[in-house]
Structure 1
């Protein structure tokens, strides 16, 4: 886990150049294999270029004497605290590495490390810099802590976090949860994110959400269902501090049928944004989506229809027992293609002829205004 620094931490960082007493400890004898010699692509700027794999391997293979917090030099004082052990060990290893070359790796590679390799890299943290995945910027390591706060696109955050979870890299996971803020997202990008229920494993999204949030939104078992992964991703975006780019009013309107009995066609939900785009979102968890959208500052409205005007001879109506019927002249048939007929009504500005118009007049008028602009 990443630990918070005390004010003394910065002083210790400046003290790394002062000598410490040598410790006669067993050497680290872990060796790492030769790197793959496939050429790598670097940035044009030398300052932003990543180190060769061979340079990382050489650093990992550098023999370090192990820090011993119970050695003779500490016997005269009180037992070292956990924080003192961390600081002294970082200083101890840093002095051994003072003549070694700095190694720059990308954050993706760091997130993919685990086990003994990660532990060895952390012992050599004074010589490791992690490059930001989207700009010429480097993160500094201080032992098992990554210093600073950064902004990264949300999709990149999810990929990094998935890698860290799958590799059991708890340091990268904690860094992403607590020190990274998602780049702002557009209104339409937020809605499009509701399409993808299968882009990430449930456990990846679950672990991004605090326990109390999972309990609040998903109940005591705290399980995110497969059908709710997309909505949960957007919830994670909000909890990480993400925001929607201000582009005028942030409005969405969700059209839902009064009943699901007798519906024909696909199972998408109609969502209209204030940017005048019409979306057909599959398997939308409407209550969850509304809560998440509102937490992001959306003015989210729901329009429930039990009568869809198609043309002067045709309409869909909820009848006896909550069953949808399609009327065409004197012909009455069970079933209604709610999705297609409602979109047709929206585009043809005939929502005002629905029997539901008086109930949802304000929202329907606003939808007509958006679509006609």
Structure 2
């Protein structure tokens, strides 16, 4: 049977870490090892280990059971390494060193007495461990969640996200990835753009109860406007979100490629023609970027060259698989 990994080492946190610290560590490491951003062939396996560690350590019951398994494993390992000192350094290296120093100064008679006491103490420890194991996961474990905190869940390349937390993304990053994030606490409202996207899907949530009527807006565009009144924002397959909006070209009238671009700011109104529809060009004119049903002004797709009129009242223009768009008229 394969050895269970040390999930605390995987997430690089202390066994006493609070749930918020664990989640923050997961998000920090995911920014390095997620396959969307790391081409290393070992990255998917590392991400799988991160997801498994978060699944265990973010659930109070699973974490309590894992902590018991981990303690027993460490005790057995130490007994194998130092069979004469049962459970020795589990209680601290300083204590073990002090014990050995004192033993070295004792007479043989005292050593015999001390040895007998050591056997009794070891037996008591084993009884306590057995009682804890038989308690069915109800005993408290240092670092477990307190009542009322929700566990998170994460799957590499999949949706869903850990339950929202007040722990913000790493300071100064200005980005966030897939999952569910609290607006105003973890991410700021405003205009956000997806980078390194695959098949992006997103939802603006008016509450975090999880029912369908909490969706304030949804879409697949790579630029979205998150409202200050939104409770949370969820996305999947969008890579990373940033508030640094880089224009697709040097000037608004210059040719541009796939993406969701702001009209009048990043691209000019007028007649635009694409260069390649062989992959199936799809396009959408948007009156807003909030994902409401009224946001779509016009949409279409095709496999032949297309000419589109983008008007001044459009908020943005979204396209994919259309090659390069070139302005051909006013």
Provide TM-score, normalisation by structure 2.
Answer: 0.29
Q: Which has the higher strand share?
A: 2
- Structure showing the higher helix proportion among its residues: 1
- TM-score scaled to structure 1, two decimals? 0.27
